[in-house]
Each structure stands twice: as structure tokens, then as C-alpha cells.
Amino acid sequence: MDNSTLLVSFNGAYYTLLAFNLVIFIIGVPGNIIILLVYGSKRPKLSSHIFIIGLACADLFISALRPVAIFNWKHDILCQVTLASGYLAVFSSIFLTTSIAVDRYLAVCTRRKLTNFKSKIIVSGCIIFALLLSAVSFSTFGLVDAPGQRNPACAIVDTASWAIQFQAMLFSISFIASLSIIIILYFLIYRVVRRQAKIQASWSSTRSTNGQMARNNLSIISPSCPSAVSDASTLPAGGESSSHPNGLQRGNSSQDLLPPTSSSQATQQGRIKKPQSGPKAQSKTTKMMFLTTAVFFVSWIPGIILRFIPMSTYDELQKRSQSWQAVLVIPHYLVLINHAVNPFIYSFVNRRFRDDCYKVFKRMKCICTK
């Protein structure tokens, strides 16, 4: 697929791309700001919070540049910034999603967590490295004349440039390596989570069986010794046993036969909340990050499929009408959905995130009404 063919498609689908960029801007900017407000105010912060903040910063930057992409044909600088930011978005997303998968693997499978300092170093390194890679081909972007179009188009001026070839090769290697690493790590995470779920179910079944046996034993004792049950309410508060007139020793009714209550269960019954970094919270965070990663890679599938369409077929389709031009060019831009969809994924998976969003809106409302 040569440059002139893409130029015709992009110009024919101009209004479609205009609407698409506006939607990404309108949803992505406030959505990522909310993510930053929610996770930026958390105390104490976990390594997963640092990665979520880093990903939100990159998404906010790309979403905020969407208006520039709409008018990129007016000046070379606007064109260069638009295309370079696209490469920045791709590389930063690949590096950050891979880092998130590694963090989830360490937290779930090895019980070793990255420190906040190390997490910040990794996030900064991912963004800086992505920025350097996107700047390599900055000078190869510019405005070119599109066949049959009144306005110039923003495109790659020299597709045979060593910088473009190097960047394309590096992207292919990064994409394949990242996808492979993520698939392996999340498969290992799935095995551990599934094994933990089986152990938890077995433990719950054993505890339920012990409780039922205790109630059965109590029902056997009650008919032959009714006073042992009727006097249960008069036991000392500390659970001390006392002597029965008939010579029987009685304890804390059925409580002596039930499994002891753990300190975590006792805490849960009181006002003190359980820590948010427990296995259940880790599982929710892992599920949330997995869905984010899955959406990122799935959004690339339509654009990759288009590259396997024969050139003659592609030319024939895009010459039929502007509607076909829009259909053929939109898949190349679907990857931008990743920069606006994360707030919806977090809200769908994590109830605590929804509650924190409500608190943020409530604080903003209080500030605006003052």
C-alpha cells in the first residue's frame, strides 16, 4: 500500500476522522483527569497505582492532542507533532502494558511487590524511551500534495527513509515481544488465581462441615441434658466452664465446638476495615489491568488485517465512494480508543473506583458551589 493510496483514503474520510478525533478528545481528556484525581489522592500508594497514573498521563497527553490532529494539514509543525505523538502513543502503551503485566505477575505469583520508587523509575523510563523512539523519524513527517485533493495531506514524506524503516522494524519486534510476554505472564497469573480459588473453596467447605458437625453434636446432647442448653445464657462472659448440678461440665454452648474466629474475621465484624491490598483487591486490580491490555491489543487487529488485503482490491474499494474510504481508514485509528476507554473499564470492574469517582465529583461540586 503506497503513500498516495493512503492520502486519497485519508482525505475522503476527513469528516469521519474529524468526528472520531473529537470523540476521543471529549471522552479521553476528562476521563483520564478523573483517573489521575482518583489514584493521585490514594494513600498509601501501591505499585499498581503508579502504573495506572503513568498510563493515564500518557493517555491524557494523546487525547489532548486530538484537536491538533484535526488541523494538521495547515502547517508542517502541526503535522509532525501529530504523527510523532501517534508513535509516542503506540510505544508508550506497549512498554507500559508490558510493565503492568510484570508487576501483576510479581504481586500475584511471587508475592513480591515493586516499591513505589522502582515503579516510578520504570514508568519514567517507558515514557522517555518511547519519546526517543518517536523522535527518530520526526523530520520525515510533513505536508504533501494529495492527488485530486485541494488541501495538502499530513503523511510520511519519505517512506524509504532509514528512520522509518528502523522504526517500523522496532515496532514489529516490540509488538510481538510484548504480546508474547503478556500472554505468558497472564496465563501464569490465571493458573495461580485458579489454584487459590480451589484452595479457598476447599477451606470454606471444611469450615462449613465442622460447623454442621458441631450443631449435630449439640442437638444430640440437648435431649438428654436440657439444662446444659437452657443454662447456656448464664455462662460467664469469658467463656469459663462451670460445674453442673448433675456433675456435667458445660462450656460456651456450641461455640466450644465451632472453629475459632480468626483475628481478620473479628476485625471485619468491627469498625476497622480490611486492608485494600489483600488477595481480593489484588484479583480485582489484575482483572482490571488484564482487560485494559486486552482492549489495547484487540484494537490493533482491524488495522493488521487490512495490511493483508491485496493492493488491487484495496484500490478498487477506496475508489468506489467516500464511505468506503472511511471504512478503510478508520481501522488505522481504532488504536486511539485505548486512550479514552480505560475509565469505563475501571468503572466496570472495580466498584471502589466508582465510589472514588463519586467522591471526586462530590468534592468538585462543593468547590464550585462555594
Supply the pLDDT for residue 147: 60
Whether CATH 1.20.1070.10 fits 11-199+279-369: yes
Q: Helices (H), strands (E): how many in the chain?
A: 15, 4
Q: How far apart are CA 98 and CA 237, in angstroms?
A: 56
Query: From the CB of residue 354, how many other CB atoms can be counted at a distance below 10 Å?
Result: 13
HSE-up of residue 199 (Cα within 13 Å, Cβ side):
7
Q: What b/e sequence results for 33-71 when a residue is b if at least 16 CB atoms lie within 10 Å of its CB, and e otherwise? A: bbbebbbeeeeebbbbbbbbbbbbbbbbbbbbbbebbbe
Strand duo 242-243 + 141-144: pairing: unpaired
Supply the pLDDT for residue 71: 73
Asked whether the beta carbons of 95 and 126 are under 8 A apart, the reply is yes
Digit-coded pLDDT (tens) for 256-270: 434 444 444 444 444
Q: How far apart are CA 125 and CA 229, in angstroms?
A: 68
Supply the pLDDT for residue 184: 94
Q: How far is CA 20 from the centre of its chain?
A: 22
Residue with cell 469459663: 240
Q: What pTM was estimated for this model as a whole?
A: 0.71
Average pLDDT, the chain: 74
Which residue in 173, 198, 24, 152 sits closest to 94, CA to CA?
173
Supply the pLDDT for residue 280: 64
Q: How far apart are CA 306 and CA 312, in angstroms?
A: 13
Which grid coordinates belong to 175?
509488538
Q: How far apart are CA 147 and CA 77, in angstroms?
A: 22
Alpha-carbon dihedral angle through residues 98, 100, 101, 105, given to the nearest 10 degrees: 140
Contacts of 324 (CB under 8 A, 6+ apart): 317, 318
Asked whether the beta carbons of 360 and 38 are under 8 A apart, the reply is yes
Supply the pLDDT for residue 109: 87
Whole-angstrom CA distances from 236 to 194, 251, 324 are 44, 9, 83
- List the beta strands (DSSP E) in the chain: 141-144, 153-156, 242-243, 249-250
Supply the pLDDT for residue 330: 78
Q: How far apart are CA 119 and CA 48, in angstroms?
A: 8
Digit-coded pLDDT (tens) for 6-40: 444 455 567 777 888 889 999 999 999 999 999 98
Which residue in 261, 226, 80, 281 sits closest to 163, CA to CA?
80
Residue stretches of the chain with pLDDT short of 70: 1-13, 72-74, 146-153, 158-160, 205, 207-282, 314-315, 318, 321-323, 370
Digit-coded pLDDT (tens) for 77-105: 777 887 788 888 888 889 999 999 999 99
Asked whether the beta carbons of 60 and 36 are under 8 A apart, the reply is yes
Contacts of 136 (CB under 8 A, 6+ apart): 163, 166, 167
